[in-house]
Each structure stands twice: as C-alpha cells, then as structure tokens.
Amino acid sequence: MSQPLDLLLRDCALPDGTRTDLGCRGGRIVVLSPAGAVGPGEDARAARVIECGGRLVTPGLVDAHIHLDKALLSSRAPSVEGSLAEAIRVTGAAKRGFTVDDIRARARAVLDLAVRSGTTAMRSHVEVDPIVGLMGLEALRPLRHEYAPALELQLCAFAQEGIVQAPGTEALLARALREGADLVGGCPYNDTDPRAHVDAIFRLAREFGVDADFHTDFFDEPEHLHVRYICEQTVRLGWEGRVAVGHLTELAALAPAEQDGVIAELRAARVGVIVLPATDLYLMGRRDERNPRRGLAPVKRLLAAGVPVAAASNNVRNAFTPVGNADLALMGVLIAVGAHMGARAELGEVLAMLTTEPARILRLEGHGLALRSRADLVVWDAASLDEAVGALAPRAYVIKSGRVTVEHRPTVAEPWRN
C-alpha cells in the first residue's frame, strides 16, 4: 500500500456475507481485501481505523424523491379526509403562509434526520409556482453547500400546481433553472392539459440540458397513464436515461399483459421508476370497501424487466404522508411487506432500491461497493442484510467521501433488571 488510507473498516460484512477489510482514500474505495489481510503496519498508517467486528457495510442510502419544502406540516395542515385531493388542497393553502426561514428550518430538521440515518445523497422537489415564486429555491439552495460534507443534494424545480392552469409557472421554472435548480419536474395529473404540461417540462429540460422528473398516474384506476406519453417523448427527444417518474400507481391496476406493454416502454426509454410506499399505501385504495388494494406500482415486475426502481420518502409528516422520520430503512420495510419482497434474495433487491438503484436514477457515478466506487457508506449495527433491512437496525457509522460524518453511540439503561 503506497499511501496511507484515510479510513480503514476492518472486518466488515458485505451484503453477500463476505467478510472484508475496506479501505478508503481520496473519497474512493481503494482496498477490498479478505478480513485480516490488511496487516498491522498498513493499519497503523491509516488516519482512522474502525473495528467493525462483522457488522454490515452497505453503500450510502439515496433518497431519490422527497419534498423538503413541505415537510413537517401536519400541525398546520393536517390530513383529515385522507385523500389526495385534500392533501393538494390543504398544502396549497399552507404554502401561502410560507417564508424562506420557515422552509429552511423545516428542511434542516429533515436533512438532519436523513443524514443521521445514513442518507448520503438526495433529490428534493422544490415547488415553483405563482403562489410561492422561487421562495423554496431561495430557502434550499444554501443547504446544498451547508450539507455537502455529509450529503449530496439535488434540487428539482417542480410544478405541483400545474403549468397550463397556472400561467407564469413555465417562466418561473426557467428562472429557477437559471438560478441554480439542478433539474425540472412536473405533475401532469394536476393540470388541465397533461400533454401540454409534459411538453413544457421537456422543453425546459432540453433548453437547459437537465434531467426531468415527473409525478405521474397517482390514482387507483388506469384512467390517465400519462407515463406512456412521457416515454414516447423521452425517446423522441433523445432524453433516454434522464427521466424519472414517481408514484405510477395506476400501472398496478392494469391486466398483466397490459402492464408488460407499459413496462417495455419504460425499459426502452430507460425511464426510472420511484415508488413512494409511505404515501402510496396511505392514499391509494381509499374507496375500496372490500379487499382494499395496496396501491403500489408492480415493483417485482418492473425489476424483472430491468427497469431501474427506487423506493423513496416523498413526504415527511404532512397531509400526503402523516408519518415518517426521513429514515429510508423504513421505506425498505414498507416495500418488503407491501410489495411481497421479504424473501432473503428479495431483501437484497430492497436494499438496492435504497442505494444503487436510486443512485442510477439520479446518475450518481460510482455508487456501490466495488473498487474505485465512491466511499459513501453505512456501517449498520447488524451482522446481516436480513437484520439490517428486516429489523430497521440502527446505524453505527455514516461515511461520506471516505470520512466519518455520523457516529452513533447508543446507551441503554434498564433499571427494571436491578
């Protein structure tokens, strides 16, 4: 070893059960050797050594879809009816009282929770419309720099209130992209002309050379399927691999053969799918009086076809999602149960939906556990994947670019045993 390591994780367990010594230098993984292979001399030259004792190490968690600007609103805009229409309505009303300081304070609270739980990258949608203007971007843009040592934050200028039905929004989105937004996003189901809405988002994506991210087909019945037009335009405009869609719950209501047709279009267009289990399970199936549906996109079918699929937080304690703590591991539990993915091999796929799959959708190069991968890692207080994903195991260390950013030191007192 010619140069000392910044960090050595001694005797850690990889998700496949392999025990290894993992070394980091210059923000990358540069050593992956059988446990004990890194000798004492090399050990002594490392800036820091952590004795993992067989604890699990995974890539850092990646939250591909969250709304920092409207998190933690339950006290002022609670869910009463529990419907999507209500959530849009009451959150839209609450936005009229937002301030830059208010948005930034709530966003910081969620980012702190996310970082502590092992999230090392995140994409947040930032609402841009005539109600709030660019207030959300103004509030969140400085947080990219503030949290950069612990988390990479992408900001998506997002048209929640529509474009056609909200004149001036397209110009505001363009301003947001000029002023630092990383990509552009839309919500065609919440506009009077969904195709024109999609066209506007692609027009901006092409003008500014950025990715596009859509909330789409968020209903129980397949009455919209805007995803087909999104896929068509993705291919026509040469934007393959640069488009994501969130929710996509309508896909699960199609017959299997019809699902396969749409999935083939997603795969051909290289469109990533982001499932939002806490929100989708909460809001879908509300009118089903008998045998209520789960309301999740068909995760297994998508994965089997080779479509990139991530699971993400979406909202944290507001009318869309009244529960949550920004811990992506909770989304893993919901997917394992809600999508019937609790078998051992499937838990590996669930972990990928929280780590490497969202990194692929966000186009984060080198996110994984191979040599030369980014040294963005989580050391779990668990010995196996089953325990980490299945039992919401605590995190012991969080590592960003080869440096420890969070170190948990839990203490528990049990006076009843005395």
pLDDT of 344 reads 87
Torsion sign, CA atoms 69, 122, 397, 336: positive
Query: What is the pLDDT averaged over residues 2-11?
Result: 91
| Residue 40 pLDDT level (bands cut at 50, 70, 90) | low
pLDDT of 410 reads 83
Query: What is the pLDDT averaged over residues 214-223?
Result: 96
* In the predicted structure, residue 1 carries a pLDDT above the cut 60: no
| Surface-to-core class of residue 381, CB atoms within 10 Å of its CB (0-12 exposed, 13-18 middle, 19+ buried) | middle
- 255-261 contact pairs (CB < 8 A, 24+): 256/301, 258/222, 259/298, 259/301, 260/301, 260/305
Query: What is the pLDDT averaged over residues 55-71?
Result: 98
Query: What is the pLDDT averaged over residues 256-263?
Result: 98
> How remote is the C-alpha of 85 from its chain's centroid?
23
Query: What is the pLDDT averaged over residues 271-285?
Result: 96
pLDDT of 42 reads 64
pLDDT of 164 reads 98
| Residue 3 pLDDT level (bands cut at 50, 70, 90) | confident
Q: What Å distances lie between residue 246 and 65, 176, 323, 334, 401, CA to CA?
A: 8, 21, 19, 16, 28
Kindly report, residue by residue over 368-412, the tens digit of the pLDDT: 999 999 999 999 999 999 999 999 999 999 999 999 999 999 888
**28-34 sheet: strands from edge to edge:** 28-34, 19-25, 7-13, 49-51
pLDDT of 43 reads 64
* In the predicted structure, residue 41 carries a pLDDT above the cut 90: no
pLDDT of 329 reads 97
Kindly report, residue by residue over 130-179, the tens digit of the pLDDT: 999 999 999 999 999 999 999 999 999 999 999 999 999 999 999 999 99
Q: What is the mean pLDDT of the chain?
A: 95
Report pTM: 0.96
| Residue 5 pLDDT level (bands cut at 50, 70, 90) | very high
Kindly report, residue by residue over 198-211, the tens digit of the pLDDT: 999 999 999 999 99
| Residue 253 pLDDT level (bands cut at 50, 70, 90) | very high
pLDDT of 81 reads 84
| Under 8 Å between Cβ of 404 and 379 | no
| Under 8 Å between Cβ of 195 and 169 | no
Kindly report, residue by residue over 325-365, the tens digit of the pLDDT: 999 999 999 999 999 999 988 999 999 999 999 999 999 99
What are the structure tokens assigned to 52, written together?
A: 């993992």
Query: To which H or E segment does residue 121 belong?
Result: strand 119-127
pLDDT of 44 reads 67
pLDDT of 85 reads 86
- When comparing pLDDT for 248 and 91, which is higher? 248
